[in-house]
Structure 1
Amino acid sequence: MATAFGKTLSARETPIPGLVLLDLPVHGDSRGWFKENWQREKMSAPGIDLPDFGPVQNNISFNDAVGTTRGIHAEPWDKYVSVATGRIFGAWVDLREGETFGAVFTAELDPSTAIFVPRGVGNSYQTLEPDTAYTYLVNDHWSPDATYTFLNLADETVAIGWPIPLDEVEISAKDQNHPRLADVVPMPPKKVLVTGANGQLGRALRAEFGDHPWIEYATRADLDLTSPDLDAARRWRDYGTIINAAAYTKVDVAETAEGRTEAWAANVTAVAALARIATANGITLVHISSDYVFDGTKDGAYSADESLSPLGVYGQTKAAGDAIVATVPRHYILRTSWVIGDGANFVRTMASLAERGIDPRVVNDQVGRLTFTPDIAATIQSLLDAAAPYGVYNVTGIGTPRTWYDIARDVFAITGHDPERVAGVSTDDYFATSTTPVAPRPRNSVLLVDDAGPVVTGDMEERLNAYLQG
């Protein structure tokens, strides 16, 4: 069978999600032929849409006899397969956890065809011509610590229709002894790492993502993000997503010498290390930003693409972290304001003061919206599930913006206390007698939310009622 010339580069979907069969243009004349075997720009363009999977190794398997049969092997990396010379019958079986476990696809490949094999899909082939060279690009190096999954070539359940019966071909003893499908341990998804797992957002992420073998919740005691050994702390190629819920948030203490050092270490140095790891290993990095990256002087809500203009040290470190994360090819920056979750926060403080009979003075010249941590966690899940476009997303409650004074009165009213007990005061007057450094606050913290996209939001007042009554 001669190689097909003159094809147009195109992609064909298969019954296995992510497994893509490609037709390749091959140009030939009396001297032989030429093809672009892998062309990143063309193959990741719309219409082909292969992932830019970042190959790190190019392997060639030469087979001198017809009927040489290899597989079925599923590795924890992506693979791009093509034939340099000869022809093969290829069979692929989905060995990943999920609804398509056991799904099969077969096709013949010659130099004018190729196939992209995603992580966890079993790969096998049988040569149909002598002197066949089978080539494949992979985006990770073999490791004894990695997870591998195998399936027997003769499994009766998937019932691959090999062109040459398996009892007539050359097969290694190792391949012959692979397990049947019923005994295969499925390839688990890539790991998700959640840092800052004991914070307000970290606890909401635990509730949203649940407990699974492939989800890792880490505190600083488990993983020091500022350690110079962070690159070697994990086999990072096994991770698909890092959700960084760790941050330094003591905005006033950040104005001190010690606090400034700690804020830059947690919000910039650690973020830079995660960004470097994410970029090197093709990991999606989810980063939590803040309204403090703005100076609050704008008349109107801040959009997701607004230019940054931080005031104090905390805001400067968060803005620096945003700029770093934006360089990661796969990133989501979630900008939030006035975060409320499970733990000490403004709403809990006001509820406690109301209950104890203390009448607070609360600033009335800062405007924004509360953001509840379950909404942030649900938005992260939504972005990842939908494979939403990478970039910046504003995530806050929706509804009429309020001042801290307004919210304090709402808390008093919801908890059955007289809201008139709350007195309003300007920010300048509130901090006028402070004997410790005070961070400048943005007066306008209102973020523009696109509630038609993957951002999960709810009415701020409804969320507040549910939070206090829950």
Structure 2
Amino acid sequence: MTPPTAAVATGSVQATAIPGLLVVELAVRGDNRGWFKENWQRARLVADGLPDFGPVQNNVSFNTAAGVTRGIHAEPWDKYVSVASGRVFGAWVDLRPGPTFGVSVTLELGPDRAVFVPRGVGNAFQTLEDATAYSYLVNDHWSAAAKDSYTFLNLADESVAVPWPIPLAEAELSEADRAHPRLAEVRPMPPRPTLVVGANGQLGRALAAGLDGAVAVGRDVLDLADPASVAAFDLSPYGTVVNAAAYTAVDAAETPDGRLAAWATNVTGVAVLVEAARRHRATLVHVSSDYVFDGTRELHGEDEPVSPLGVYGQTKAAGDALVGTLAKHYVLRTSWVVGEGRNFVATMASLADRGVSPSVVDDQHGRLTFTSELVRAVRHLLEVDAPSGTYNVSNDGPVQTWADVAREVFALRGRDPGDVTPVSTAAYGEGKQLAPRPQHSALDLTRLRATGFVPEEASVALRRYLAGASSSS
């Protein structure tokens, strides 16, 4: 190859017909001595649109003669392929399930071009010059066991019909590559599954039921309160981790033992989970709380500085900050959660059915969040690949007090809403050891709506919830 004599434009990252397969134009600077390029420059390439994929291993394939042909191999990690010397004809085939299964992209690669190949996309090349060095960065360490997760496609598959410049009959192929299956026989490489942590809670149960193919584990398998349990759990198979586990005993968290337990689960355990997710390139979805705010603002946006009043809120705020250090994460702040099991709405319905007339706090303001709405939001953010960050999630509708909600429940159960007596937080807490609570818990849903999500009215979800509770009782 004649060495380049001038620089070419840098920073060009282009999409292709295969989702996630990106072509990168590299600056190559040359003179009479040869040439130089920055083959992998993390900050610049990420700024130009390449995923921050965290490579951990660099491999080089040296090919003696033109016509050496390797592939088509889809591997269980991302890779960044380039050429150190010579030129190749590259071919990529999407071997992931979905509408682009079998779609192919081909182009020539020299020192001035690289390609980012996402997990599950088959990669192949044919050398066009002697003494070609083909280099690739990968974001997981190769092992013999990992090869069992490969998906292969025959280089000569007629349906894909890669236009190899050197006919395969004249090319140098391995016997293994000659024996790979045709596209009709290929089993697509499935995406890495989702792990739900905290499967025994009301949100965890809803997530396990509502996320297709999710693997759910309870505290007996992965205990956030025990860092050793988290560290020992193998996170490598999972592409997404949804953390629904937390210490949520708000009042008990103010006691010496409760304070220790809250920090152990909500902070120390989360820190270990964050590092495991980082190590295995997993997206972490972490459920947080309105208790990270002091409640002085009537509506809380995601950018409001945290100002927790009590230990529970302090630990949740600390956990949020840890999750925020991950490249791919979602912190979902929510409030007044209602799901299967013990919760405020179920308690009010039971009191209404039993003829009890309760006193309910009427100076704390917020919106209900049904677990079905949280599941729907998690699914949506993952499906649209929303930008990482913090999102408020609750049901929509008017801001209410706890007494407003209780009156609505009573009316739906056929009781007189006037049977609910409103009281202040101070009066309700007299003689009790209660943690401080935010007066205003309503969350601004603008950022979530901007992703295309349409929150459901709390009143609609409440009627459906109570109808289900009636039919199952």
Alpha-carbon shift at residue 235 of structure 1 (Å): 4.6
Counterpart residue type for residue 414 of structure 1: L
User: Which residue of 1 is the match for residue 262 of structure 2?
Assistant: 263
> Which runs of 5 or more structure 1 residues have no equivalent in the other structure?
none
Matches within 5 A, 1:172-183: 172-183=174-185
Relative distance call for 1:372 and 1:235 in structure 2 (3 A) is closer
* Moved >6 Å (runs of 4+): none
Partners of 1:324 and 1:12 lie apart in 2 by 33
Alpha-carbon shift at residue 140 of structure 1 (Å): 0.8
Matches within 5 A, 1:152-171: 152-171=154-173
Alpha-carbon shift at residue 13 of structure 1 (Å): 2.5
> Which runs of 5 or more structure 2 residues have no equivalent in the other structure?
469-473
Alpha-carbon shift at residue 2 of structure 1 (Å): 4.0
- Does residue 1:431 correspond to 2:432, yes or no? no
CA contact (8 A) 1:379 1:456 kept: no
1:59-86 CA-to-partner distances (Å, cap 9, x unmatched) read 1111111111111111111111111111
User: Which residue of 2 is the match for residue 99 of structure 1?
Assistant: 99
CA contact (8 A) 1:3 1:112 kept: no
1:271-329 CA-to-partner distances (Å, cap 9, x unmatched) read 1111111223322211111111122233x212111111112221121121112212222
Counterpart residue type for residue 294 of structure 2: D
User: Which residue of 2 is the match for residue 72 of structure 1?
Assistant: 72
Relative distance call for 1:13 and 1:317 in structure 2 (3 A) is closer
Relative distance call for 1:229 and 1:399 in structure 2 (3 A) is closer
Partners of 2:310 and 2:16 lie apart in 1 by 53
Alpha-carbon shift at residue 335 of structure 1 (Å): 0.8
From 359, 366, 369, the equivalent of 2:367 is 369
Partners of 1:18 and 1:372 lie apart in 2 by 34
2:239 aligns to what SS in structure 1? strand
Partners of 1:462 and 1:8 lie apart in 2 by 55
CA contact (8 A) 1:3 1:111 kept: no
Counterpart residue type for residue 296 of structure 1: G
Partners of 1:336 and 1:23 lie apart in 2 by 43
Alpha-carbon shift at residue 440 of structure 1 (Å): 1.6
CA contact (8 A) 1:364 1:406 kept: yes
1:239 aligns to what SS in structure 2? coil
Counterpart residue type for residue 115 of structure 1: V
2:434 aligns to what SS in structure 1? coil
Matches within 5 A, 1:318-467: 318-434=316-432, 437-450=433-446, 452-454=449-451, 455-467=453-465
CA contact (8 A) 1:77 1:120 kept: yes
User: Which residue of 2 is the match for residue 134 of structure 1?
Assistant: 134
Partners of 1:202 and 1:39 lie apart in 2 by 40
CA contact (8 A) 2:284 2:330 kept: yes
Partners of 1:50 and 1:181 lie apart in 2 by 29
Partners of 1:11 and 1:444 lie apart in 2 by 45
Counterpart residue type for residue 91 of structure 1: A
1:160-200 CA-to-partner distances (Å, cap 9, x unmatched) read 22222222222112222222222222111122111112322
User: Which residue of 1 is the match for residue 217 of structure 2?
Assistant: 218
User: Which residue of 2 is the match for residue 283 of structure 1?
Assistant: 282
Alpha-carbon shift at residue 398 of structure 1 (Å): 2.3
TM-score scaled by length of structure 2: 0.93
User: Which residue of 2 is the match for residue 119 of structure 1?
Assistant: 119
Partners of 1:315 and 1:112 lie apart in 2 by 52
User: Which residue of 2 is the match for residue 241 of structure 1?
Assistant: 240
Partners of 1:375 and 1:171 lie apart in 2 by 53
CA RMSD of aligned residues (A): 1.8
Partners of 1:22 and 1:223 lie apart in 2 by 41
Partners of 2:318 and 2:35 lie apart in 1 by 51
CA contact (8 A) 1:375 1:456 kept: no
Alpha-carbon shift at residue 90 of structure 1 (Å): 1.3
Counterpart residue type for residue 450 of structure 2: G
Partners of 1:461 and 1:453 lie apart in 2 by 23
Partners of 1:429 and 1:411 lie apart in 2 by 22
Partners of 2:329 and 2:170 lie apart in 1 by 51
1:441 aligns to what SS in structure 2? coil
Relative distance call for 1:423 and 1:229 in structure 2 (3 A) is closer
1:122-143 CA-to-partner distances (Å, cap 9, x unmatched) read 1111111111111111111113
Counterpart residue type for residue 273 of structure 1: V
CA contact (8 A) 2:357 2:421 kept: yes
TM-score scaled by length of structure 1: 0.94
Counterpart residue type for residue 333 of structure 1: V
Partners of 2:328 and 2:283 lie apart in 1 by 5
- Does residue 1:194 correspond to 2:192, yes or no? no
Counterpart residue type for residue 393 of structure 1: Y
1:266 aligns to what SS in structure 2? helix
1:44 aligns to what SS in structure 2? helix
User: Which residue of 2 is the match for residue 148 of structure 1?
Assistant: 150
2:382 aligns to what SS in structure 1? helix
1:390-428 CA-to-partner distances (Å, cap 9, x unmatched) read 211111222221111111111100111111111111222
CA contact (8 A) 1:378 1:456 kept: no
Partners of 1:17 and 1:3 lie apart in 2 by 33
1:64-120 CA-to-partner distances (Å, cap 9, x unmatched) read 111111111111111111111111111111111211111111111111121111111
2:276 aligns to what SS in structure 1? helix
Q: How many residues matched? A: 461
Counterpart residue type for residue 440 of structure 1: P
Moved more, 412-421 or 312-321: 312-321
1:4-48 CA-to-partner distances (Å, cap 9, x unmatched) read 654212233322111112222211111111111112222122xx4
Alpha-carbon shift at residue 3 of structure 1 (Å): 5.7
